[in-house]
Amino acid sequence: MSVVIRQPGVVLTDHLFQVPLDHAAPQGEQIEVYAREVVAAGQERTELPWLLYLQGGPGGRAGRPLGRDSWLDRALEEYRVLLLDQRGTGRSTPATRQSLPLRGGAAEQAAYLAHFRADSIVRDAELIRRQLLGDQGRWSLLGQSFGGFCTLTYLSLAPEGLREALVTGGLPGLRSSAADVYRAAYPRVARKNSAHYDRYPQDVEAVRRIVEHLATAPARLPAGGLLTVEAFQALGLLLGSGNGSDVLHYLLEDAWIRGGAGLELSDTFLGGVESKLSFADGPLYAVLHESIYGQRSVDPGATGWAAERVRKEFADFDAAQALADGTPVRFTGEMIYPWMFETDPALRPLRQTAELLAQHTEWADLYAPQVLAANEVPVAAAVYHDDMYVDTADSLATADAVRGLRTWVTNEWEHDGLRVSGGQVLERLIRMARGQL
């Protein structure tokens, strides 16, 4: 029986679905996918259109609502919302360092996780749609970041299930390889670094001082992780959100404390760093990240740690050289590197599995350009100008390739605009999809 919970203004209902691990073998092994239904209080028995929400990531569970918070307040004015824990995340059959050994060794784990990309997520959603709405029912789709990537896969594989699609910060390059993605990303991250140091010029010296210390004495984090120079640079992931530069600055403010042996990195700082860098809450983000760009028709080879390979083309991210030259040390961004599977305890047991996935070839295509060119589903997308996580040029090229897709290009919001805009981003996309703007 489904569990029903009431919060101020909303009613939450649990749903658990059985889906095939491999949709090409529907009678084979089954896994569980969890979803949470959210409806406005008093509307539980009202016939409302459904809105499926696909979270960013990959490997991120759906948000846990606290009443009518964030964009949900606008959505619940007219929709019954389904928050999907994509396979392997949240309350769906988990895929972590603790559960994956049940599959066997690294080879078995990698073969299992090869079924956890956008195409499988979309096919899960289609099974769920038919169970909740019937074969002829259609629902609206809201995709944030990687959820937008999944939306383009949905429009490619099963457009008949959709009445409208809304995308925020997540129009992928349909023909971009993993290397292409990172070759475009490093210059965007460099610009975010420059903007941060313009806002907080005192952080230039603060960062250099920390890097100089870590270069000779990597620090142990509270849960056992290792803070190296490269790991510290990975805090640049923060710079793509609306207040990320401020969060980073305040973190740096707490870096040092005087102890018995003199100045040392403070527990406050190390705990804060760990909370930003640890993948304990979402290991699939690291394990599967580069595989989301794999498509055999674009690049039949392996993704092969593309972020690491391409980084060598951008010498200005070399911290040691920056120290030698007296220039600002640059943070990196949304990049996954093989050393992360050594420094993070949540990832360390998965390092060989991640290596096998990085060397996997012949990933199935995720997008169908001919289907998208003939699209009949209303689609509206927010493209955030100079989005650090998703390339604007790729997004606009994809928008041109999808028939009827309307874009709103804005620099009012960063990549997290859906969450922080108080419903304004969602409101505009709804109106665009319906031709009201």
- DSSP string covering 349-408: GGHHHHHHHHT---PPP---HHHHHT--S-EEEEEETT-SSS-HHHHHHHHHHSTTEEEE
Catalytic residue (one of 387, 391, 394, 416): 387
pLDDT of residue 261: 85
pLDDT of residue 144: 97
| Same domain assignment for residues 194 and 332 | yes
- Domain of 200 in residue numbering reads as 178-358
State yes or no: cis peptide before 26, omega within 30 of 0. Answer: no
* Single-letter amino acid, residue 167: V
User: One digit per residue, pLDDT tens: the chain, 437 residues?
Assistant: 578 999 999 999 999 999 999 999 999 999 999 999 999 999 999 999 999 999 999 999 999 999 999 999 999 999 999 999 999 999 999 999 999 999 999 999 999 999 999 999 999 999 999 999 999 999 999 999 999 999 999 999 999 999 999 999 999 999 999 999 999 999 999 999 999 999 999 999 999 999 999 999 999 999 999 999 999 999 999 999 999 999 999 999 999 999 988 899 999 999 999 999 999 999 999 999 999 999 999 999 999 999 999 999 999 999 999 999 999 999 999 999 999 999 999 999 999 999 999 999 989 999 999 999 999 999 999 999 989 999 999 999 999 999 999 999 999 999 999 999 999 999 999 999 999 98
- Give yes or no: 316 in active site: no
| Same domain assignment for residues 351 and 391 | no
Decide which of 341, 358, 375 is a domain's last residue.
Answer: 358
pLDDT of residue 260: 87
Decide which of 298, 325, 358 is a domain's last residue.
Answer: 358
- Give yes or no: 145 in active site: yes
| Same domain assignment for residues 313 and 246 | yes
Q: How many domains does the chain have?
A: 2
Place of tokens 């073969």: 111
| Same domain assignment for residues 269 and 386 | no
pLDDT of residue 163: 98
| Same domain assignment for residues 106 and 243 | no
- Give yes or no: 415 in active site: yes
Instruction: Give the CATH number, domain containing residue 398.
Output: 3.40.50.1820
pLDDT of residue 264: 95
Q: Which of 159, 175, 7, 79 is closest to 430 using CA atoms? A: 79
Decide which of 338, 358, 378 is a domain's last residue.
Answer: 358
**C-alpha of 288 from chain center:** 11
pLDDT of residue 1: 55
Catalytic residue (one of 70, 92, 145, 278): 145
- Show the beta-strand stretches assigned E in 225-378: 226-227, 256-259, 262-265
d(CA 378, CA 368) in angstroms, rounded, equals 17
Give kind and range of the element (H or E) at residue 230: helix 229-233
pLDDT of residue 103: 96
